[in-house]
């Protein structure tokens, strides 16, 4: 008697198989640029769907380790990472996962190229994107700081393609007092007499990718006042020339829900030598470039995890039979998946639009209006895509039935890892309040919103589907009338619904813009169907 055997979901080349990425790149990149970078994307797609995916499944039960003492009683605080992460580090350096953005071979579009590589790489490497995001953010922060000594010393390590020279960076902000309200930080910086070196004393409560060679951190120079302004931004190296930790004790690794391949530590700094990056105060402001970059990576990670879940789920639907037909022929199952696909596509276009704007700001090719848009869309994109990633991952697991809940399918990790996206680098609420601040940065939030609305409506010029244009317009009009009516506590209380409405409205606008292009130039209706679906689900969360 032959017994039934279920075929598992499989992945092909993750670039070749990705209609959304390929179609987007064909629209935004000149043909010669696309031609030039295509090979790198095909290769990363091959690794992500092949070698790295296989290694990821095989590496499932491995976790990072902390060895605090050697056999002879010396405190060593040694971190071991898993085979997948060791391989990921090498591939990341060689394939320029950080370097591509700084080599700027294609000007501002190098950011788009880098984000496309990161999007392909991330879902097969169990959040190796975390150290890369912070490394990229550290490079950008140091370059913006004007501190030539640190730029010359550290940046070449952060942006090299040579795995032997490659450094990763941590960012140590969160203390027990709070990750959102970092102005409460207690770490003290004491200046060594007659020198530019400071020594840091304090406890850092969440420090991810603790195997890194350097970190940017916040501490309060002695004598400075309270709050974020009294903090300064510091550069430190985690080990001395003999490989010993620089007066840093790793107290323990966090036992986390997800991102379990990422060694996230609690630290004590006990006289750690550090250099000022940019003046003895305003540390929170000075670290902002790092947060803008890590928030971009967060959004790219969100869409990449959604894409991975859906790639597996669509494949499985063609292999799993129920009630006499494959799931891919069951109208309700298909309806469920295409609704998730629409969420993913909308999120994709917003995350990559922020990549485009980031690239233009780095090459100083950005107008004032687009500068404001980038300031506003960075938190809006991060908070909107983070929420979508958790929802999509949860539904993806359900689309596999019981198998989605079983660890050795490799599926549950998608949900656990997605759950970090709305938490770190600014929770949904904290970013919603930042969205209000971004509108205020122009002096008048109403005027800021008008400029935003004008930019969104402009991007839908030439779109034929007036129903969708009207859905976007109605949501933005509602946002404007709400903003005009509320103040004080009511404004703060509604900030999340307001920001999500802006996020989803701009997602729909970008998706329909792309859909019109795909229809006009590629006779491809799939993006339009996703836009129509996303519009039907709705974008307005304000009440
Ligand atoms: C896996 C992981 C890795 C991390 N890695 C790092 C790292 O490498 N470096 C680092 O510095 N940090 C790191 N963090 C810390 C992370 O950035 C913080 O957890 C996050 O910023 C929230 O801070 P908190 O935990 O202190 O929560 P709190 O700030 O106490 O917030 C608790 C809740 O209150 C809400 N809240 C706070 N203020 C307001 C307000 N004004 N209005 C409304 N709601 C509000 C928040 O949205 C949240 O829901 C990591 C966290 C995780 C989970």
For residues 52-57, average pLDDT: 97
Atom 18, ligand 1: residue with shortest CA distance: 179
* Confidence bin at 442 (pLDDT 50/70/90): confident
In angstroms, rounded to a whole number, what is the distance separating the alpha carbons of residues 31 and 491? 46
In angstroms, rounded to a whole number, what is the distance separating the alpha carbons of residues 528 and 474? 20
* Confidence bin at 215 (pLDDT 50/70/90): very high
Residue 338 burial by Cβ neighbours in a 10 Å radius (0-12, 13-18, 19+): middle
Atom 35, ligand 1: residue with shortest CA distance: 429
* Confidence bin at 524 (pLDDT 50/70/90): very high
Q: Is 43 helix (H, G, I), strand (E, B) or coil?
A: helix
**Residue 61, pLDDT score:** 97
Strand partners, 248: 269
Continuous segment of H or E residues that includes residue 194 = none
Atom 24, ligand 1: residue with shortest CA distance: 179
For residues 464-484, average pLDDT: 97
Atom 39, ligand 1: residue with shortest CA distance: 430
User: If you ran DSSP here, which 8-state letter would residue 401 be given?
Assistant: G
Atom 5, ligand 1: residue with shortest CA distance: 208
**Is the Cβ atom of 207 under 6 angstroms away from ligand 1?**
yes
* Confidence bin at 441 (pLDDT 50/70/90): confident
**Is the Cβ atom of 56 under 6 angstroms away from ligand 1?**
no
**Is the Cβ atom of 173 under 6 angstroms away from ligand 1?**
yes
pLDDT tens by residue, 137-168 = 999 999 999 999 999 999 999 999 999 999 99
Residue to substitute in 168, 174, 210 for testing ligand 1 pocket (most ligand atoms within 8 angstroms of CB): 174
In angstroms, rounded to a whole number, what is the distance separating the alpha carbons of residues 242 and 92? 26
What atom in ligand 1 is closest to the CA of residue 208? 8
**Is the Cβ atom of 291 under 6 angstroms away from ligand 1?**
no
221 has pLDDT over 80? yes
* Confidence bin at 209 (pLDDT 50/70/90): confident
**Is the Cβ atom of 284 under 6 angstroms away from ligand 1?**
no
In the chain, pLDDT over 70 holds for what percent of residues? 100
d(CA 57, ligand 1 centre) in Å: 30
**Is the Cβ atom of 264 under 6 angstroms away from ligand 1?**
yes
256 has pLDDT over 90? yes
Residue to substitute in 180, 433, 434 for testing ligand 1 pocket (most ligand atoms within 8 angstroms of CB): 180
pLDDT tens by residue, 388-425 = 999 999 999 999 999 999 999 999 999 999 999 999 99
Looking at every residue in the chain, the average pLDDT score rounds to 97
**Residue 217, pLDDT score:** 98
**Residue 47, pLDDT score:** 98
Phi, psi (degrees; rounded to nearest 5) at 256: -100, 160
By mean pLDDT, which of 21-25, 74-78, 115-119 is the weakest?
74-78
**Is the Cβ atom of 172 under 6 angstroms away from ligand 1?**
yes
**Residue 194, pLDDT score:** 84
Alpha carbon of residue 298 to chain centroid: 1
d(CA 433, ligand 1 centre) in Å: 14
Torsion angle in degrees (nearest 10) through CA of 387, 389, 390, 393: 160
d(CA 424, ligand 1 centre) in Å: 6
pLDDT tens by residue, 473-482 = 999 999 999 9
**Is the Cβ atom of 266 under 6 angstroms away from ligand 1?**
no
Q: How far apart are the first and last CA of the chain?
A: 60
**Is the Cβ atom of 57 under 6 angstroms away from ligand 1?**
no
What atom in ligand 1 is closest to the CA of residue 258? 1
d(CA 426, ligand 1 centre) in Å: 6
443 has pLDDT over 90? no
- On whether the CB atoms of residues 541 and 387 are closer than 8 A, the answer is no
- On whether the CB atoms of residues 188 and 222 are closer than 8 A, the answer is yes
pLDDT tens by residue, 271-321 = 999 999 999 999 999 999 999 999 999 999 999 999 999 999 999 999 999
196 has pLDDT over 90? no
**Is the Cβ atom of 430 under 6 angstroms away from ligand 1?**
yes
Residue to substitute in 169, 179, 187, 500 for testing ligand 1 pocket (most ligand atoms within 8 angstroms of CB): 179
């Amino acid at each position: 008697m032959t017994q039934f055997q279920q075929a598992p979901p499989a992945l092909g080349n993750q670039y070749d198989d990705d209609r959304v990425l390929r179609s987007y790149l064909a629209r935004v990149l000149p043909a010669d640029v696309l031609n030039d970078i295509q090979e790198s994307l095909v290769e990363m797609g091959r690794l992500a769907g092949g070698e790295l995916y296989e290694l990821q499944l095989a590496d499932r039960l491995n976790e990072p380790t902390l060895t605090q003492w050697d056999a002879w009683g010396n405190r060593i605080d040694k971190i071991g990472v898993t085979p997948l992460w060791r391989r990921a580090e090498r591939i990341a350096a060689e394939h320029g996962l950080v370097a591509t953005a700084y080599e700027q071979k294609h000007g501002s579009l190098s950011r788009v190229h880098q984000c496309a590589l990161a999007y392909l790489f991330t879902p097969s490497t169990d959040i190796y994107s975390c150290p890369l995001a912070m490394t990229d953010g550290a490079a950008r922060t140091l370059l913006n700081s004007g501190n030539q000594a640190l730029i010359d010393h550290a940046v070449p390590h952060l942006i090299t393609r040579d795995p032997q020279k490659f450094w990763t960076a941590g960012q140590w902000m969160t203390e027990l007092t709070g990750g959102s309200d970092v102005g409460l930080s207690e770490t003290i910086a004491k200046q060594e007499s007659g020198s530019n070196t400071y020594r840091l004393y304090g406890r850092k409560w969440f420090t991810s990718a603790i195997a890194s060679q350097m970190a940017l951190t916040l501490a309060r120079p002695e004598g400075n006042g309270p709050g974020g302004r009294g903090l300064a931004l510091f550069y430190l190296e985690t080990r001395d020339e003999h490989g010993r930790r620089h007066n840093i004790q790793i107290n323990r690794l966090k036992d986390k829900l997800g991102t379990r391949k990422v060694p996230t530590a609690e630290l004590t700094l006990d006289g750690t030598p550090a250099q000022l990056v940019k003046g003895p105060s305003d540390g929170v402001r000075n670290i902002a470039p790092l947060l803008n970059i890590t928030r971009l990576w967060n959004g790219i990670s969100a869409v990449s995890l959604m894409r991975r879940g859906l790639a597996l789920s669509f494949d499985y639907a063609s292999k799993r039979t129920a009630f006499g037909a494959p799931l891919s022929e069951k109208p309700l199952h298909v309806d469920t998946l295409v609704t998730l696909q629409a969420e993913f596509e909308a999120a994709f276009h917003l995350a990559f639009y922020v990549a485009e704007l980031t690239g233009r700001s780095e090459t100083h090719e950005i107008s004032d209006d687009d500068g404001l848009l980038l300031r506003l869309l960075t938190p809006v994109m991060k908070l909107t895509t983070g929420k979508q990633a958790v929802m999509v991952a949860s539904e993806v697991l359900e689309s596999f039935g019981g198998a989605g809940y079983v660890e050795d399918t490799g599926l549950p990790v998608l949900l656990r890892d997605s759950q970090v996206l709305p938490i770190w680098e600014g929770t949904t609420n904290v970013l919603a309040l930042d969205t209000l601040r971004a509108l205020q940065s122009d002096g008048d939030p109403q005027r800021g919103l008008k400029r935003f609305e004008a930019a969104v409506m402009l991007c839908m010029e030439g779109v034929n589907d007036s129903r969708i244009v009207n859905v976007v317009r109605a949501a933005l009009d509602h946002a404007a009338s709400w903003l005009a009516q509320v103040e004080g506590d009511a404004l703060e209380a509604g900030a999340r619904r307001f920001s999500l409405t802006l996020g989803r409205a701009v997602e729909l606008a970008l998706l329909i813009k792309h859909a019109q292009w795909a229809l006009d130039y590629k006779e491809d209706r799939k993006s339009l169907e996703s836009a129509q679906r996303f519009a039907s689900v709705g974008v307005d969360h304000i009440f």
